[in-house]
Amino acid sequence: MPDTSIPYKQVFSAIPAPVIMLDTQGHFAFANKAAYQILPSCIPLDDGVSCTPPDWLATEIDTFLYHAKEEHTFEHCLPLDTGHRHIQFTLTRLDQDKRQNGILITLHDISRHKRAEQALRLSEERYRMLVEHQSDLVVRVDIEGRLQFASPSFCMLFGIDEEQLVGRELCPIINSSGQAVMKEAMQRLDCHPKSCYHEICSQTLDGLRWIGWAMKGVVDEKGHIEAIVGIGRDITDRKKAEQEILQLAHYDTLTGLPNRSLLQDRLSQALSLANRGNVTLAVLFLDLDRFKHVNDAFGHQIGDLLLQEVSRRLKDCVRATDTVSRIGGDEFVIILTNLIKCSQAGSIAAKIISSMSRLFQLGGHELYSGTSIGIALYPTDGNDVDTLLKHADMAMYQAKASGRGTFKFFSPEHNEKMLQRMQLEQALRRAIEHQELSLDYQPQIDSATGSINGLEALLRWQHPQLGLLLPGLFITIAEETGLIIPLGEWVLRTACRQARAWQRAGYHRLRIAVNISPRQFQQRGLIPMIDAILQETGCDPRGLELELTETTLMDSPKEATALLKALKRRGISLAIDDFGTGYSSLSHLKHFPIDRLKIDRSFVNDLTRSREDSAIVEAIIAMAHRLGLEVVAEGVEHPDQHAILSDWGCKTCQGFLYSKAVSTEEATALLATAQYSTGIPSTLTPQTKPADD
Ligand SMILES: Nc1nc2c(ncn2[C@@H]2O[C@H](COP(=O)(O)O[C@H]3[C@@H](O)[C@H](n4cnc5c(=O)[nH]c(N)nc54)O[C@@H]3COP(=O)(O)O)[C@@H](O)[C@H]2O)c(=O)[nH]1
């Protein structure tokens, strides 16, 4: 029994900690209330009743006694009423000196602690599983940037031995050339230990890969950063997609050159630099000559090849620091920076023009193009992006107007003219739908009989503000802007409709001549368009004549011959307009299936005054007759001219001497009063005085 001089029971009953006393035989001698509460059913304690402890406890007591230790602690899980509980038992001798005294057991319910421990273990396992099996890269580095941990995925990607990673510097592994990025990230984390994100391009075993690193500082209990955990994800595909989007948004897909949006950006940057450096900058606006023709004649594939070759040549003409961009169809803009003198821009433009005039060999075809260039200088011609581009564009128009294959510096004097031109272009776009266009008809007279054998349809534009405009003012603009296509179609449809009306009225042999401009002739689908109009209007094709200039035909004689043949097969007559002013190859002329040559009015004008002109007119008439062609003389204003032309066998004459171009109603009236095809009508008999215009 324990030493009875010490009131153990009283002492232990008073303390809140659960305790049990064993006697010297190792039997239960006493348990306080707290101990009872923990072990009511498991240990059959009964105050005052000595009983033996269960085997598991007896074994521990033996161990304790055998080793003669001062204290022995062990844990045991007990199935109690409240469920399984983990109890920590600590055995001590009641009296260290008097060994005969019993053993004191203090109990400590550590179930909660155990549960927490298990939860932690589970969580760590889960974490390990996650880290080891996921493709994201996980690293933990100390504040010096040395690895404390790295996931297997990281080791695999960077070819690192897992055994040897601890202590290695992370920066050289993930980006040997960009250590600064990591250092900066760490410094930033040091100040704001929240998180940060960096995208780093790393050399890995899989080649160059972009990794997006989310980094978070790990803080100690004092709030100091003690480590950094980084989770990296391979974002190479996203980066590539971003780059592709960027490429699409800023670069022209066909040529790979910067597009309009990037050009504006670059020009804006170049202007800021030029402004700071007080240097000159030039903007060159280029438009390819005959690009439309190349597309129409050779197809879009060759057109595309031409644009690509043009891009290459342009880049070869400028420095790598200059910008060559494609801003639309056949339009290019070049920014020349750091010019020492303005004339340098002119020299480069000349170099470009020369390069563009060289033969292009594309997909088995040989062709020539060319370019017209407008130049605007900073700061003289403008100091912002829009103004410089606008002025370079205007200068380009000036270059075109003064003959293709040239360059022009922007000139403020031409500015006003150009503005008017642009306004005219805008108005012309609306002219068709606003029904401001009409056709007048100028009679063509049989020089022998004086009867009308044809009428030339001539376009007129009743401008709402400017009044009546003659085609000389707007046909070139229409041609250059492509508006000639809808305009020309309108003319053809209107003329055919009127021709049909006159055919119905009985003028079956009357020929209505319609002018076809070069661009119209080169347009794709010209023949189907004419077929559709003939079908729609019911016009007899034999009553239709198309007038084409030499230049139109000589631009591409082979294609022209094929087109002319197709038109002839339909019964349409063909005439070469302004003959003698352009460049005609007689060998080609022989092959063109044409019906008539129209001698240009400049030769007719001086027929009676200039021996040369008279010789030219006589020669043209003789040659035409030999080739089996009819001749029409235009611009006949004097009876003398009529007499000579008639004498030389020129079958048809046209000019103010007989009639100016008149409205449809007036033309109908003229036809009615004239003895159509027979006799010389009084109204159209050659007059002694020119008709008033
Ligand atoms: N593609 C198209 N071109 C067209 C169309 N309509 C006209 N045009 C071309 O515009 C040019 C100018 O035409 P216009 O101002 O109508 O002048 C014509 C006549 O008025 C003028 N003419 C006729 N007789 C005389 C004359 O005795 N003296 C004189 N000084 N001028 C005269 O000549 C023009 C007709 O020329 P041409 O066509 O060469 O027969 C002109 O080049 C037209 O071709 C159109 O619809 N489409």
Q: Which of 479, 604, 634, 637 to mutate to test the pocket of ligand 1 (most atoms within 8 A of CB)?
A: 634
Cα of 645 vs centre of ligand 1, distance in Å, is 20
> pLDDT band at 310, cuts 50/70/90?
very high
Range from 36-45, 422-431, 441-450 carrying the lowest mean pLDDT: 36-45
Checking if the pLDDT of 194 tops 70, the result is: no
What is the per-residue pLDDT for 277? Answer: 80
Checking if the pLDDT of 191 tops 70, the result is: no
What is the per-residue pLDDT for 183? Answer: 64
Average pLDDT over residues 454-458: 97
What is the per-residue pLDDT for 184? Answer: 67
Is the sign of the CA dihedral 420, 421, 427, 432 positive or negative?
A: positive
Domains 8-115 and 134-240 fall in the same CATH topology: yes
Average pLDDT over residues 672-683: 49
Residues 6 or more apart whose Cβ sits within 8 Å of residue 538: 500
Overall residue count recorded for the chain in this entry? 693
User: In the structure encoding, which two tokens stand for residue 376, read together?
Assistant: 């605007």
> pLDDT band at 544, cuts 50/70/90?
very high
Q: Whose CA is nearest to atom 7 of ligand 1?
A: 458
The domain made up of 8-115 has a fold known as Beta-Lactamase (3.30.450)
- Residue 470: which of 459, 480, 481 has the closest Cα? 459
What is the per-residue pLDDT for 278? Answer: 78
Average pLDDT over residues 325-335: 95
Q: What is the CATH number of domain 441-458+484-673?
A: 3.20.20.450
Average pLDDT value over all residues in the chain? 86
- What homologous superfamily does CATH list for 134-240? PAS domain (3.30.450.20)
What is the per-residue pLDDT for 422? Answer: 79
- pLDDT > 70: what percent of the chain? 90
Q: Whose CA is nearest to atom 3 of ligand 1?
A: 515
Q: CATH number of 251-410: 2.40.37.10, 3.40.605.10, 3.40.190.10, 3.30.70.270?
A: 3.30.70.270
Kindly report the pTM of this predicted structure.
0.52
CA 586 to chain centre: 48
Which residue type sits at 363? G
Is the sign of the CA dihedral 286, 292, 297, 301 positive or negative?
A: positive
Average pLDDT over residues 439-466: 94
> pLDDT band at 33, cuts 50/70/90?
confident
> pLDDT band at 172, cuts 50/70/90?
confident
SS (H, E, C) 192-256: CCCEEEEEEEEEECCEEEEEEEEEEEEECCCCCEEEEEEEEEECHHHHHHHHHHHHHHHECCCCC
Cα of 442 vs centre of ligand 1, distance in Å, is 9
Ligand 1 pocket, Cβ-based, cut-off 6 angstroms: 442, 456, 458-459, 470-472, 475, 491, 515, 517, 577-578, 601, 634-637, 654-656, 661
What is the per-residue pLDDT for 680? Answer: 37
Q: Whose CA is nearest to atom 38 of ligand 1?
A: 515
Q: Whose CA is nearest to atom 4 of ligand 1?
A: 515
Which residue shows structure tokens 């119209």? 520
What is the per-residue pLDDT for 628? Answer: 92
Distance CA 214, CA 653 (A): 88
Distance CA 625, CA 616 (A): 14
Atom of ligand 1 nearest to the CA of 459: 6
Cα of 62 vs centre of ligand 1, distance in Å, is 131
Dump pLDDT digits (tens) for 462-508.
999 889 999 998 998 898 888 999 999 999 999 999 999 999 999 98
Q: E-strand spans in 329-383?
A: 331-339, 360-362, 365-367, 371-378
Structural domain spans, the chain: 8-115, 134-240, 251-410, 441-458+484-673
- pLDDT > 90: what percent of the chain? 50
Range from 315-329, 420-434, 658-672 carrying the lowest mean pLDDT: 420-434
Cα of 651 vs centre of ligand 1, distance in Å, is 20
- Residue 92: which of 81, 104, 82 has the closest Cα? 104
Cα of 456 vs centre of ligand 1, distance in Å, is 9
Checking if the pLDDT of 46 tops 60, the result is: no
